[in-house]
Amino acid sequence: MSQSGLDSPTTEGTGRSHKLAVIGGDGIGPEVTDAALTILDAAQDRFGFTTERTEVPLGADAYLETGDLLTPEAIEVLRSNDTILFGAIGSPRVTPGILERGIILALRAELRQAINLRPVRLYPGVPTPIAGLTPERCDLVVVRENSEGSYVGGGSTVHRGTPGAVATQGSTNTWYAVHRAVDFAFRLAAERRGKVTLCHKTNVLVEAGALWLDVVEEVAARFPDVEHDYVHVDAMCMHLPVSPERFDVVVTDNLFGDIITDLGAVLQGGLGVAASGNLNIDGSAPSMFEPVHGSAPDIAGKGWANPAGAGLSLALCLASLGEGEAAAAVESATAQVLADLPELSGANMGASTAELGERIAGAVTDGHGSVQSSLMTQLAAVQAGLAR
């Protein structure tokens, strides 16, 4: 992330330029990413910066054509950029796991994107399936450890396809990665409402659980003004929709974070609305911003995908580049357009994916929307602290 601060004043024509790699990917990935780029055009025009964009063709088409997943050349191109916008990857034409592990997880690891930041925020006027939920009660951030757990645990299978089949799937948990995530969560909470909740399954996964608990106690000692508590991941699936107001920053293991943030997306209105940032916090490589959803093959090509998650991911991306005003404008405009939709996905959304991109872009140009964005500024403060 840039260290130039997220709320620097707009300076027209100062020649600020950012190198942006774009991975549309599969299914609705390119559709929502195109919409995000339309929104970016409007933000650039209004806030006086430019981007040099490089498309990196990764995904099912490239894989089926060449057998390549993530080549060293592609990694070099990505590394040479300031930031990455990512759509989605995954296709029914390819065995599950090949593209997901070979591209998304490989990228997160290769680019040392230690934290997967997933805000769960219900914007005013946006319909949520959770009865009675109000925006005041739904503003939390999930800090998902992004490099290990069962995602890199290794495994083996013997006698596949016979009744003697045995599959093992491990989970790797290091003090280093857990500490990095927990420390980030406490720093973020210190800028917010001052509360960290550890979400795990310490009653069953006793080895990994004890490590997470130990690290939380260790880090908590350095943050006397941040309170902390603990919730089992199964109970989290009840608390999150029923009483999200009890959470400020939730820190959790890679797999639990994956699962609870799809639930978090529902609180916000649906899977099409949720945003994320894979953050490189040591400055060694670019961060990567992507909607929480996948390639949605069931609606690909129909124009039914909501581009809000991609738009809000763009806002996070702009914040990390130091374009704080543009980030806030994109967030506000996206929230405003969402609030006017009859439905948040599918045939009855009232507009196609591309039209929604245009609509959000128009709202950026006109300065519509009035969401108070605190997360962008909080991230800047955390980043400044990490750089010290």
Rule CB under 6 A: say whether 100 interacts with ligand IPM.
yes
| Residue placing its CB nearer to ligand NAD in the complex, 34 or 191 | 34
Residue 212 dihedral angles phi and psi, to the nearest 5°: -60, -45
Nearest by Cα to 127 from 324, 345, 277: 345
| Cα–Cα distance list, 194 to 120, 136, 138, 190, 247 (Å) | 17, 16, 16, 5, 10
Whole-number minimum distance, CB 274 to Mn ion, in Å? Answer: 10
User: Is residue 63 among the annotated active site residues?
Assistant: no
One-letter amino acid identity for 372?
Q
Rule CB under 6 A: say whether 345 interacts with ligand NAD.
yes
Rule CB under 6 A: say whether 355 interacts with ligand IPM.
no
| Cα–Cα distance list, 160 to 61, 99, 163, 168 (Å) | 29, 22, 8, 12
Q: Please identify, among the stretches 76-84, 98-106, 157-165, 267-275, the one whose residues bind ligand IPM according to the rule CB under 6 A.
A: 98-106
Rule CB under 6 A: say whether 293 interacts with ligand NAD.
yes
**Which listed residue (195, 230, 262, 302) is catalytic?**
262
User: Is residue 262 among the annotated active site residues?
Assistant: yes
105 binds, among Mn ion, ligand NAD, ligand IPM, none (CB under 5 to 8 A by kind): ligand IPM
**Which listed residue (26, 34, 151, 183) is catalytic?**
151
Rule CB under 5 A: say whether 253 interacts with Mn ion.
no
Specify whether the CB–CB gap between 296 and 273 falls below 8 A. Answer: no
Q: In what helix (H) or strand (E) does residue 344 lie, and over which residues does it extend?
A: none
Site for ligand IPM in 205-264 (CB under 6 A): 258
User: Is residue 302 among the annotated active site residues?
Assistant: no
First vs last C-alpha separation in the chain:
14
Query: Which residue lies nearest Mn ion, judged by its C-beta?
Result: 258
Rule CB under 6 A: say whether 118 interacts with ligand NAD.
no
Whole-number minimum distance, CB 103 to Mn ion, in Å? Answer: 14
3-state secondary structure of 33: helix
Q: Please identify, among the stretches 46-54, 87-95, 207-215, 240-248, the one whose residues bind ligand NAD according to the rule CB under 6 A.
A: 87-95
Beta carbons within 8 Å of 328's beta carbon, 6+ residues apart: 315, 371, 373, 376
Specify whether the CB–CB gap between 75 and 120 falls below 8 A. Answer: no
Rule CB under 6 A: say whether 310 interacts with ligand IPM.
no
Whole-number minimum distance, CB 258 to Mn ion, in Å? Answer: 4
CA distance 186 to 295: 33
Whole-number minimum distance, CB 303 to Mn ion, in Å? Answer: 23
> What number of chain residues touch ligand IPM (CB under 6 A)?
7
Whole-number minimum distance, CB 351 to ligand NAD, in Å? Answer: 12
Angle between helices 29-47 and 324-339 (to 10 degrees): 120
Buried b or exposed e, range 80-117, using 16+ CB within 10 angstroms: ebbbbbbbbbbbeebeeeebbebbbbbbbbebbbbbbb
Rule CB under 6 A: say whether 90 interacts with ligand NAD.
yes
**Which listed residue (34, 139, 183, 201) is catalytic?**
201
User: Is residue 229 among the annotated active site residues?
Assistant: no
Rule CB under 5 A: say whether 258 interacts with Mn ion.
yes
User: Is residue 183 among the annotated active site residues?
Assistant: no
DSSP β-bridge partners for residue 9: none
Whole-number minimum distance, CB 262 to Mn ion, in Å? Answer: 6
Residue 359 dihedral angles phi and psi, to the nearest 5°: -65, -45
- Residues within the interface to ligand IPM (CB under 6 A): 90, 100, 104-105, 258, 292, 294
- Residues within the interface to ligand NAD (CB under 6 A): 28, 32, 88-90, 100, 104, 271-272, 290, 293-299, 305-306, 309, 345
* Residues recognised as catalytic: 151, 201, 234, 258, 262
